Each structure stands twice: as structure tokens, then as C-alpha cells.
Amino acid sequence: MNIDTALYRRIEAAEQLEVLRFWNDIDEAGQRKLAAQLAAINWEEIPGLIRDYVLQRPKTEIPDDLAPAKYFPDRAVDAESADLYRRAVAAGENALRQGRVCCLTVAGGQGTRLGFDGPKGTYPIGPVSGRSLFAYFAGSILRAGQKYGRPISWYIMTSLLNCDATIEFFRRNDFFGLAPEQVFFFTQGTMPAIGYDGKLLLGARDSLALSPDGHGGTLLALRKSGALERMEQEKTDIISYFQVDNPLVKMCDPRFIGLHDLERSDMSAIMLAKTGPFEKLGNFCVSGGRLHIIEYSDLPEVLAQKRNADGSLAFVAGSPAIHMISRRFVSELTADGVLKLPWHRADKKIPTVDAQGNPVKPETPNGVKLESFIFDALPLAKRTMILEGDRKEVFAPTKNATGVDSAESCRQMLVDRDARRLEAAGVSVPRRGDGSVDAKIEISPALVLDDEDAKAYVKTHRVTRIEPGTEICLD
């Protein structure tokens, strides 16, 4: 088959005809596949992207008026804030009861650091049961729906690379007790990877090397997939956004939902107090009256190290990527069917083919992937709100197989959280001399959403103590 002439001309104008170098060697099915990938590319923007992001390192402009962003502290500081927090909890519970809240998990990433074969959400994270990341979220969403008397819709963003496997996993697990129609899968866009020579990389003779376009792609994908429309029909107007690798997240936290609502915020965020000036979290900053997240690698060292009079970090607010987003805001941003968020460059080892079309797995980075980030929508929001979170209660990222932010550290945080819950409910939990929990404990998220549930659980099941060294899964 011949390639469409208009498409050919566009590829030629972008100086990328090399993508067709195996065209005459591949079968018709392969030609169709490649042609479809090529037709989906905005060729007119490719030369500019290569010039600005590949052939040179993009310079991030750091505004000179950067100031630390204000936030609501985790604990009320006076009677006025205590009253506000009480009202926020009530408002959040109301929103949940009225069915105004839905959940959104971004699960389109490739999870390369974890090195796990399969969608990251299927990773067995349960410290005792080995239940998956998806099972954790599903359990909490199920329980929250029961608690507030309204099933909560769950939107899951996948990418073309993992969408079939994700859906299949849900089917195999009977949607973890959720009604299948409660779960809406949608797929984000892709971007072609570009070699350091400024040429688009082929992943195979009949395929570009495509990768998901970053979690910033969520917003447009919500519109294009019909998810926004569905939310409108369901009358959900608050989207609880979280990442697939944080099973500790409280996606239905009434106080966070309520503050977002009371503040009439477009996009809200949880912040964590950074453990040090250079902790690898994005920094909440204000510039020109707008909220920005400046990546840890871009925050000038003097600002990162700047201290307040009491010795605390001036730029203390780090982002764990937990947001409440108003549906109206997403709707307005994507009204024209386009959303131009800035691109970010990531240097990666991208599997490709050699001159003969044989597969090559590079040992060192050989090109660039371009991604957009959800937090770049923050400066577009007129109203924002930041609430401090308690790290040990809300953030256990599973990025790596071992070490910092790993499956290992995440499992430990889950055990610690469940141990605290049991203790708060009056159960005796064995602790070693250094205070660490001397048992492996896991509580089913479908049974216990919060401390109140934990109390009810231990009462009905008559749990009074956990023996040292035991492995126990309260299901």
C-alpha cells in the first residue's frame, strides 16, 4: 500500500522521512499500524519541539518574584481555624453523601524504576496478603461509598501500552467488589520519542517508539474520552486525583474535600513539609499571584536553602501529587479540545531498532521523551488551596524496587499506619525497643477506611492484642 500523499508531505516538511525507512519491507498490517501512528502526530509542531527540547536542553525560566506558597496547616492553630476545619469536615461529608465526589487515578505511566512487568497498579503491595495497588484503592472507594451512602465513581487513566492489561486485571478480580459500571477506564495520549540526533525513534520496523504524554495529559484525555461528560451527567463536580503508586492516599478525606469546596477552589493540593532543602518533591511557590510547582531540580539552591527566622525552611511545602480538582475547571481548560501545557524533557533508554531493523536495547540514554505535568495546570487556576498532610498517613510512594520510595518502604508504612489504627482502637500492638512494630499487620481497606471503622472492627471481631512476630491480615 502507498502512504497517503498529504501525510507524506507533512512528514517530509518536518524532515522525518526516516520513519518510513522500512515501509517497503513490512506487511500491510504493519503499514496500516505505522500509518495510523503517523497520522496521529502533529507534524507541524515536531521541528520546534526538537529544536527547543532535544537539540538543546530546555531552560526553565525561574521567575524572580518566587515566594513560598501559603497553606492550611494540618492542625488547627486557633479557635477560628478549628471552626473552619469542623465546617470543612461537614462540607466534605455532605459532598460525599450528595455524590458530588469522584476519584481519578492516573495509571498510564510505565513504572520503569519499579522494574515490574505489567501495569503498576497490578503490583502486589499488600504487606501480608500481597493485594495489589488497585485493590487498595478499590477497597477504600468501596468502603467510602458504603459509609456515605453513595457509590463513588472511579476514573482510571491508562495508556495505550497498558490499557488492555489493566482492564483484564479488573475483570479477573471481579472489579474488587465494585460495580463494573462504577469504574471508567480511559486512555491518555502518546508522544513519539526522539533520538539525540533529532530524528523520531522507531520502536520496531512497523512502529514508532511511543510513550504516554505525561500525567498532564489527563486533563485533555478526560474531555476526549467522554469522562467529563459522564461526570456532568452523574453530577459529580469534585475530582479526587491521585497517583497509582501511593496506596496510603486518603482519596475521600472529608476535610480536604470540604476545604476545597468552601474555598471555591479550582485546583487544590496536599502539601508535605519537606524533610530537607533538597528533598525530591516539587515545591509549592507563588509568582505573579499564581500558584506554581517548581521541580526540585529547578529550584535555585539559595531558595531551597533559605530559612525563616525560626530556622525552618522558607520553601518547605513539597508536593506528593494529591489534588482535588473542580470539574468546571477541567471543562473550561479543555473547552476548545486543546490544552497547551509546557513539555518537560526526560532522557531515557529507549528501545529501538538498528539500521537493519533489528531490536536494540540501549545501555545508556539514547533519546528524549516529552511529558506534560498535571501541576502545570495550577498557574492557570484562579483559585487554589493547599492543605498540609501528615506524611505518615498519606504518602507512601512506590517508585523503586528497593531503598528510598520503594515497595519495601511503602509496605512498612502500610504496616505502621494499620498498627497505629489498631492502637487508637485500643488494641495492644507489639513494638520493639526502637518503637518499630514487631509484627506484619494488614487491615483490609474494604473494611476499614478510618479510625472510626477500625474501632468498630476490633469491637465486632474482639481483637485485643497482636502477638509479637506474627503476620496477620484482618480481612
Q: Which stretch binds ligand UTP (CB under 6 A): 28-36, 82-90, 243-251, 447-455?
A: 243-251
Find the Cα–Cα–Cα–Cα dihedral 31, 33, 34, 40, rounded to 10°. 140
Q: Is 106 in the site for ligand UTP (CB under 6 A)?
A: yes
385, exposed or middle or buried, with CB in 10 Å at 0-12, 13-18, 19+? buried
Site for ligand UTP in 123-162 (CB under 6 A): 157
Q: Which stretch binds ligand UTP (CB under 6 A): 54-62, 70-78, 210-218, 250-258?
A: 210-218
Contact 427, 463 (CB under 8 A): yes
DSSP per residue, 84-120? HHHHHHHHHHHHHHTT-EEEEEE-----TTTT-SS-G
Distances from the Cα of 315 to the Cαs of 157, 306, 312, 319, 358, in angstroms?
31, 7, 9, 11, 49
Select the residue interacting with ligand UTP from 131, 143, 147, 215 (CB under 6 A).
Answer: 215
Q: Which is nearer to ligand UTP, 151 or 351 (CB)?
A: 351
Contact 177, 138 (CB under 8 A): yes
Distance of closest approach, residue 272 Cβ to ligand UTP, in angstroms: 16
Distance of closest approach, residue 159 Cβ to ligand UTP, in angstroms: 6
Rg of the chain over Cα atoms, rounded to whole angstroms, equals 24
Q: Which is nearer to ligand UTP, 119 or 145 (CB)?
A: 119
Distance of closest approach, residue 49 Cβ to ligand UTP, in angstroms: 16
Q: Is 110 in the site for ligand UTP (CB under 6 A)?
A: yes
| Run of H or E including 53 | none
Contact 18, 50 (CB under 8 A): no
Contact 79, 88 (CB under 8 A): no
Select the residue interacting with ligand UTP from 107, 144, 257, 370 (CB under 6 A).
Answer: 107
Q: Which stretch binds ligand UTP (CB under 6 A): 93-101, 110-118, 429-437, 440-448?
A: 110-118
**Cβ contacts of 235 within 8 Å, gap of 6 or more:** 99, 100
Site for ligand UTP in 16-75 (CB under 6 A): none
Q: Is 243 in the site for ligand UTP (CB under 6 A)?
A: yes
Q: Is 108 in the site for ligand UTP (CB under 6 A)?
A: yes
Distance of closest approach, residue 402 Cβ to ligand UTP, in angstroms: 14
Site for ligand UTP in 171-190 (CB under 6 A): 188
Select the residue interacting with ligand UTP from 66, 92, 100, 109 (CB under 6 A).
Answer: 109
Q: Is 247 in the site for ligand UTP (CB under 6 A)?
A: no
Select the residue interacting with ligand UTP from 35, 38, 103, 111 (CB under 6 A).
Answer: 111
Q: Is 112 in the site for ligand UTP (CB under 6 A)?
A: yes
Find the Cα–Cα–Cα–Cα dihedral 395, 396, 398, 404, rounded to 10°. 110
DSSP per residue, 209-245? -EEE--TTHHHHHHHHTTHHHHHHHHT--EEEEEETT
Distance of closest approach, residue 381 Cβ to ligand UTP, in angstroms: 19
Residue type, 231: M
DSSP per residue, 409-445? HHHHHHHHHHHHHHHHTT-B--B-TTS-BSSEEEE-T
Q: Which is nearer to ligand UTP, 16 or 188 (CB)?
A: 188
Site for ligand UTP in 347-406 (CB under 6 A): 371, 399
Q: Is 254 in the site for ligand UTP (CB under 6 A)?
A: no
Residue type, 247: P
Write out the residues near ligand UTP by the rule CB under 6 A: 106-113, 120, 157, 188, 212-215, 217, 243-245, 371, 399
